[in-house]
Structures are given as structure tokens and as C-alpha cells.
Amino acid sequence: MAVSIALAVSNRLQPIAAAFLCLMAMQLAVASCTPEPAPYATRVAILR
């Protein structure tokens, strides 16, 4: 599918299409990873 999309665009837009496809692949790879455990809220001392 990605190859057919890349062949359909003009020669001028091929590098941009390749970069866009790489960004989409990286986003999918990062989204599939489990997030690091992080606290939802932290207590901060407020001095008045």
C-alpha cells in the first residue's frame, strides 16, 4: 500500500511522502510501547 502511494505522487513530492510515511511508522511504534509509570499528580508545598 505504501509503495503504491509513493509511486502515485510526483517526483518532487516523493521525499516528503517518504518522510511522512516514516513519521507515521514511528508514531505507531511509539504508541505500541507501554508508557513509563508516572504519577498523575504530585504534591507541591505552597508557602504563603
Per-residue pLDDT, 24: 92
**Residue 7 included in any domain:** yes
**Residue 20 included in any domain:** yes
Q: pLDDT for 4-35, tens place per residue?
A: 766 776 777 888 888 999 999 998 888 777 66
Tell me the C-alpha distance between 26 and 20, whole Å: 10
**Residue 44 included in any domain:** no
- Look at the block and give the residue holding cell 509509570: 37
Model-wide pTM > 0.75:
no
Number of domains in the chain: 1
**Residue 45 included in any domain:** no
The percent of the chain in helix, strand and coil, each rounded to the nearest 5, is 55, 0, 45
Residue 17 phi, psi (nearest 5): -65, -40
Per-residue pLDDT, 39: 65
**Containing domain of residue 18, as a range?**
2-32
Three-state DSSP at 48 gives coil
